[in-house]
Structure 1
């Protein structure tokens, strides 16, 4: 099983989309391993988006992510990173497929509702930024035998 990091950004939290988004991942069969609502401190935002630090949009992105609460999650399942990325959709909501989270709820690339790790390596790094090892819960869902071969 693989774990991935997902963050509902301030626009998604403010629009009341937490329940809808969590429901989609649960209905897919993914298992929630950790979750927390918080306003992110600058040091963790910088670490989260460090690959964008030299880009012109970074100051605005960082200010936006720190502008309100985010809902941080760890999801687990077979090929969880790829599954979640498909469910989230393209970064630009105008290019995201209908049925994806961004395709259904986003209109602007700067307010695209959600972040999800783009690789297993990124997932490990991002989970480590936002969750201590003891905060990730190991358990079995009762429906796992009917979800997986």
Structure 2
């Protein structure tokens, strides 16, 4: 599956903390890179949100600083990762989840994770070919 460390976490130097949590949860890092998304590439990645009121702010945010896409392996990886990171809105995230602990708000929620095996395949291809 795919996890992206977003600009807010990158800028606050939380990369090591996030990777440590992933490894402690039993995920294997299969590939990792540092990427600076252009606004066009960010819009392409989040095409599913095109037309929604927050898309322009999301594109600006995701292209504001480097992001770190990480290809992760584990049995039941998609569901386990979603459980580890918590709800999109950190105010709704369960205690002990990444977003509950480090996210700033619903947009600056520190990480993106694929929400299904099908989307994971598409998103991994976007970053890793």
**Same structural fold, with TM-score higher than 0.5 when normalized by the shorter chain:** yes
- For residues 30 and 97 of structure 2, the distance between their equivalents in structure 1, rounded to whole angstroms, comes to 22
Stretches of structure 1 that go unaligned for 5 or more consecutive residues are 133-149
- For residues 98 and 107 of structure 1, the distance between their equivalents in structure 2, rounded to whole angstroms, comes to 15
| Secondary structure at 2:115 match in 1 | coil
Of 34, 40, 43, which residue of structure 2 is paired with 1:43? Answer: 40
* 2:86 paired with 1:89: yes
1:44 and 1:130 in contact (8 A); partners too: no
Q: CA deviation at 1:37?
A: 1.1
- For residues 122 and 39 of structure 2, the distance between their equivalents in structure 1, rounded to whole angstroms, comes to 17
1:91 and 1:112 in contact (8 A); partners too: yes
Alignment RMSD: 0.9
Corresponding residue for residue 31 of structure 1: 28
TM-score using structure 2 length:
0.96
| Secondary structure at 1:37 match in 2 | coil
Corresponding residue for residue 60 of structure 2: 63
Structure label with greater radius of gyration? 1
* 2:51 paired with 1:54: yes
Corresponding residue for residue 117 of structure 2: 120
Where does structure 1 differ by over 2 angstroms across 4 or more consecutive aligned residues? 41-44
Corresponding residue for residue 69 of structure 2: 72
| Secondary structure at 1:73 match in 2 | strand
* 2:102 paired with 1:105: yes
| Secondary structure at 1:38 match in 2 | coil
Of 14, 18, 21, which residue of structure 1 is paired with 2:15? Answer: 18
- For residues 68 and 80 of structure 1, the distance between their equivalents in structure 2, rounded to whole angstroms, comes to 27
Stretches of structure 2 that go unaligned for 5 or more consecutive residues are none
TM-score using structure 1 length:
0.84
